[in-house]
Amino acid sequence: MYRLVGAAGRAADPVPAAVAPLLAAHRAACPQADGAALLRAYAVAERMHRGQLRKSGAPYITHPLAVATILAGLGLDTDTLVAALLHDTVEDTPYTLAEVRAGFGEEIAALVDGLTKLDGDRWRGRAEAETFRKIVLAAAADLRVLVIKLADRLHNLRTLGYQPPHKRARIARASHELFVPFADRLGIHVLKREMDDLAFAASAPEAHAATRDAVDAALREAPAVFAPAVARVRAALAEQGVAAEVTVRVSHLYAVHTSTGGDLAGLRPCQVARLLLVVDGAEQDCYVALGAVHAALHPIAGRLVDHIAMPKHNLYRSLHTRVIAPAGDPMEVIVRSRAMHPVAEHGIVAHIRAAAGDGAAAGAATGRRDLDWLRRLLAWQADAPSEGFLDSLRADLADGGLTVYTPCGSIIPLPPGATALDVAYALGTDTGDHSIGALVNGRPSPLSAEVRDGSLVEVLTDPRAAPSPGWLDFAVTAPARVHLARVLAADGAERAAAAGRDRLARALAGRLDLLGAEARGAALAVARDLGFLEVDELYAALDAGAVGLADLVARLTAR
Q: How far apart are the first and last CA of the chain?
A: 81
How high is the pLDDT of residue 246? 96
My answer on whether 93 and 157 are in the same domain is: yes
Residue 372 lies in a domain: no
How high is the pLDDT of residue 399? 58
Distance CA 23, CA 41 (A): 12
How high is the pLDDT of residue 333? 97
Residue 4 pLDDT > 60: no
Residue 197 pLDDT > 80: yes
Strands (DSSP E) along 325-401, which ranges? 330-337
Residue 362 pLDDT > 60: no
Ramachandran bin of 441, using left for φ above 0, alpha for ψ from -120 to 50, beta for the remaining angles: left
Residue 97 lies in a domain: yes
Residue 384 lies in a domain: no
How high is the pLDDT of residue 2? 39
How high is the pLDDT of residue 1? 37
Last residue of a domain, one of 346, 362, 378: 346
How high is the pLDDT of residue 266? 87
Domain range for 522 is 485-557
Mean per-residue pLDDT, 536-554: 86
Residue 352 lies in a domain: no
My answer on whether 324 and 447 are in the same domain is: no
Residue 95 pLDDT > 60: yes
My answer on whether 182 and 279 are in the same domain is: no
Residue 553 pLDDT > 80: yes
| Number of domains composing the chain | 4
How high is the pLDDT of residue 13? 62
My answer on whether 490 and 445 are in the same domain is: no
CATH number of the domain within which 162 lies? 1.10.3210.10
How high is the pLDDT of residue 543? 84
Q: What percent of the chain has pLDDT over 70?
A: 92
Instruction: Give the SS3 label for residue 398.
Output: coil
Query: Lowest-confidence range among 69-73, 307-311, 363-367, 514-518?
Result: 363-367
Distance CA 549, CA 503 (A): 8
Residue 367: DSSP 8-state = S
Q: Are 501 and 475 in contact (CB under 8 A)?
A: no
My answer on whether 47 and 101 are in the same domain is: yes
Distance CA 45, CA 119 (A): 21
3-state helix, strand, coil in the chain (%, to 5): 60, 10, 30
Query: Lowest-confidence range among 86-95, 249-258, 371-380?
Result: 371-380
CATH number of the domain within which 284 lies? 3.30.460.10
Mean per-residue pLDDT, 248-255: 95
Mean per-residue pLDDT, 185-208: 93
CA 412-416-417 angle, 5° bins: 105
Active site residue 92: yes
Residue 542 pLDDT > 50: yes
Mean per-residue pLDDT, 292-297: 95
Distance CA 156, CA 175 (A): 10
Distance CA 442, CA 405 (A): 12
Query: Lowest-confidence range among 182-196, 354-368, 385-399?
Result: 354-368
Query: Which of 34, 77, 79, 92 does the annotation list as catalytic?
Result: 92
Last residue of a domain, one of 440, 471, 502: 471
How high is the pLDDT of residue 149? 93
Residue 121 lies in a domain: yes
Residue 365 lies in a domain: no
My answer on whether 115 and 243 are in the same domain is: no
For every residue of 60-112, which 3-state class applies, written as one string? CCHHHHHHHHHHHHCCCCHHHHHHHHHCCHHHHCCCCHHHHHHHHCHHHHHHH
Distance CA 360, CA 261 (A): 44
Distance CA 489, CA 469 (A): 10
Mean pLDDT score of the chain: 87
My answer on whether 33 and 88 are in the same domain is: yes
Can you give the C-alpha Rg of the chain in angstroms?
A: 29
Question: Residue 363 — pLDDT band, cuts 50, 70, 90?
Answer: low
Residue 62 pLDDT > 90: yes
Give bridge partners of residue 245 from the DSSP assignment. 278
Q: Are 380 and 483 in contact (CB under 8 A)?
A: yes
My answer on whether 455 and 546 are in the same domain is: no
My answer on whether 144 and 273 are in the same domain is: no
CATH number of the domain within which 404 lies? 3.10.20.30
Question: Residue 373 — pLDDT band, cuts 50, 70, 90?
Answer: confident
Distance CA 66, CA 56 (A): 14
Residue 103 lies in a domain: yes
pLDDT, tens only, 472-506: 999 988 888 888 888 888 878 888 888 888 888 88
How high is the pLDDT of residue 87? 94
How high is the pLDDT of residue 366? 54
Q: Are 92 and 120 in contact (CB under 8 A)?
A: no
My answer on whether 265 and 414 are in the same domain is: no
Question: Residue 400 — pLDDT band, cuts 50, 70, 90?
Answer: low
Q: Dihedrals φ, ψ of 285, to 5°?
A: -70, -25
My answer on whether 455 and 489 are in the same domain is: no
Active site residue 537: no
Mean per-residue pLDDT, 417-440: 92
Query: Which of 13, 46, 79, 91 does the annotation list as catalytic?
Result: 91
My answer on whether 64 and 178 are in the same domain is: yes
How high is the pLDDT of residue 121? 52
How high is the pLDDT of residue 364? 53
What element of type H or E holds 125? none
pLDDT, tens only, 119-150: 555 555 677 778 888 888 888 788 899 999 99
Residue 367 pLDDT > 80: no
Nearest to 423 by CA among 343, 40, 550, 437: 437
Residue 210 lies in a domain: no
450-469 in b/e burial notation, b at 16+ Cβ within 10 A? bbeeebebbbbbeeeeebee
pLDDT, tens only, 307-358: 898 888 778 899 999 999 998 999 999 999 999 999 999 988 988 887 645 4
Last residue of a domain, one of 331, 346, 361: 346
